[in-house]
Amino acid sequence: MKHNRYRVFYDRVDRDEVYSKGPARGDAFWDELEDFIRTFDLADKKLLEIGSGTGTLQDIVEDYVGVDVGESLKKFYHKPFFVIADEKYPFPGSTFDAIITRAVFEHIPDINKALHEMLRILKPGGVVLFSPAWQVRPWASSGYAIRPYKDLHWREKLVKFSIPLRDNILFRLLFIIPQRFWRTLWFVFHPGAFCYLHYKKLVPNYEIMWDADADACNHIDPHAAILYFLAHHCSVIGYPNLLRAFFVRSGSLIVRKNL
């Protein structure tokens, strides 16, 4: 099966000790989610959670559905839960009024297929609370930030030594600003090129969870995500134009499907 190691990993990982069980009441994302539900009057609407994990959010609304890749997760649910394969969601088009997803899309091997499916099953006028871990660092999978120098060979030591500089926001802006400038220019003249998300592939670690994002396989700039949604006839609330989008930092995106 395609991405078999990815599915085996998420089916077997220890959800209590190794992998996050998901947000609980009082968590910052829980508060953000409750505000999202109030703002868009979703309490009695049909809501899907992509990457629903152990189902900690399943009672946030009455009509809730969860999807994830692990068969072992079924035991956590008293509401509908589906195991998905190859990023194909088992629902007709325009099924859901709202979709929520947190810290998930940076882990999906075929991210463009998953994004396409997400928009396919969302009703016109429906909204998405889209909250991946943005810009996962390429050294996360090897644990260089937390492993001691004595455990590394000389090339790895150089990588570890460079992390404070490479993680500095001023240093990162030297790369982010030119990338966003050319990406925006490209979008203005060739918006069709953004029907696919522009992102960087990472090499995930499915053996050792050195860090929270050691298993991430995608480095996503929120700026590229906004352009992707605009190219698919969506609105990104809070980013009404390309100038505002250019200066996006982090946090969730709220996306409305217009067509």
DSSP states along 137-178: -TTGGGTTTTS-GGGS-HHHHHHHHHHHHHTSHHHHHHHHHH
| Cα angle: 224, vertex 229, 234; to 5 degrees | 155
Q: Please check whether residue 150 lies inside any domain of the structure.
A: no
Q: Please check whether residue 159 lies inside any domain of the structure.
A: no
Range of the domain at 219: 4-142+164-257
DSSP three-state, residue 27: coil
Look up residue 9 and give its amino acid: F
Please count the helices (runs of H) and the strands (runs of E) in the chain: 7, 9
What is the rounded distance in angstroms from the CA atom of residue 214 to the CA atom of residue 108?
13
Q: What is the pLDDT of residue 1?
A: 47
Q: Please check whether residue 158 lies inside any domain of the structure.
A: no
Query: Comparing 11 with 214, which gets the higher pLDDT?
Result: 214
**From 9-13, 50-54, 199-203, 204-208, the region with the lowest mean pLDDT:** 9-13
Give phi and psi for 12, each to the nearest 5.
Answer: -105, -15
Q: Please check whether residue 152 lies inside any domain of the structure.
A: no
Percent of the chain with pLDDT over 70: 97
Listing from the earlier edge strand, what are the strands of the sheet with 234-237? 81-83, 63-68, 46-50, 96-102, 122-131, 253-257, 234-237
Q: Please check whether residue 173 lies inside any domain of the structure.
A: yes
Q: Please check whether residue 149 lies inside any domain of the structure.
A: no
CATH number at residue 170: 3.40.50.150
pTM: 0.94
Q: Please check whether residue 147 lies inside any domain of the structure.
A: no
pLDDT band at 132 (very low <50, low <70, confident <90, very high): very high
Q: Could you give the number of structural domains in the chain? A: 1
Q: Quote the mean pLDDT of the chain.
A: 93
Instruction: Tell me the mean pLDDT in the region 152-165.
Output: 96
Q: Please check whether residue 35 lies inside any domain of the structure.
A: yes
